[in-house]
Amino acid sequence: MNLVIDVGNTFIKIGVFDESDLVYKKTIEPSDFIEEIDIAHRDFSSIRQAIVSSVANLDDDAITYLKKLFSTLVVDHHLDMPFKNLYETPETLGIDRLALVAAAVDQFPEKNVLVIDAGTCITYEFKNSKEEYLGGAIAPGIRLRYHSLNNYTAKLPLLEPKIPINHIGKSTNEAIHSGVVQGILYEINGVIEEYCNIYPDLTVILTGGDAHFLSKRLKNSIFATSNFLLEGLNHILVFNNNK
């Protein structure tokens, strides 16, 4: 069994894989990391190896503790990937983005795939049928947009995300919901359309914390999954073990 850990900007996701099957998943606060690792170690005694991806700072003591329990692979830009990376500044490429591309290679081999990760940021990652990663785009996520309206204006309130009733906001709150949510839907649909103009056989994956919030409101045909990044990390671990 493999222990897969994704350290995000806000939370940490932990997954346990039996080969390619995700058998356990939990989202935790960073302060609960050691306790949750102990629980996984106790409940899944057959875990022998772990992989860690961190876009935030994970305490060195936490990594040291993890390495005492399991053979641990920490993902960085020097690690071999199951695809050819054509990004012009690979050293600046987020580790989470690499994992998403790895999942696309594993689950959709020899296909043109656009992965949209709707989290703190909305990222777009594209790999072609030759298993080449070409790059993508980074945009503010839903909550970043709500917070920016509140932080950079004098009177606009901070709201929780909500699907707008209609396009025309008849109050300030409705106008904010329409501007943020409808704007993101137009953006995502527009990006997909542009890629489809070049790659008509495009496969589109929508993942991340806001995937299900958005998926039913997108007009394009997509696959929505919340576990794509964890699955990509597991594939990177397997790939490096089989070299």
From 60, 76, 80, 96, the catalytic residue:
96
Q: Confirm whether residue 87 is marked as ligand binding.
A: yes
Q: Is 96 a catalytic residue?
A: yes
Is 6 labelled a binding residue? Answer: yes
- Using alpha carbons, select from 109, 113, 105, 125 the residue that is nearest to residue 208: 125
* Residue 38 marked in a binding site: no
Residue among 141, 129, 151 nearest 8 (CA): 141
Of the chain, the end-to-end C-alpha distance in Å amounts to: 18
> In angstroms, what CA-CA distances link 238 with 99, 210, 226?
12, 28, 20
Q: Which residues contact 210 (CB under 8 A, 6 or more apart)?
A: 118, 119, 141, 142, 161
Q: Establish whether 94 is an annotated binding residue.
A: yes
Is 213 labelled a binding residue? no
Q: Which helix (H) or strand (E) holds 51?
A: strand 49-54
Distance of alpha carbon 41 from alpha carbon 217, whole angstroms = 40
141 annotated as ligand-binding: no
The answer to whether 186 is a known ligand-binding residue is no
16 is in an annotated binding site: no
**11 annotated as ligand-binding:** yes
152 is in an annotated binding site: no
Q: What is the Cα–Cα distance from 210 to 162, expressed in whole angstroms?
A: 12
Q: Is 84 annotated as a binding residue?
A: no
Cα 80-85-88 angle, rounded to 5 deg: 125
Q: Is 198 annotated as a binding residue?
A: no
Distance, in Å, from the CA atom of 192 to the CA atom of 72, rounded to the nearest integer, reads 37
The residues annotated with a catalytic role in the active site are 96
Binding residues: 6-13, 87, 94-97, 117, 120, 172
Q: Which residues are annotated as a binding site for substrate?
A: 87, 94-97, 172
User: Which residue ranges make up the annotated binding site for K(+)?
Assistant: 117
| Annotated binding-site positions for ATP | 6-13, 120
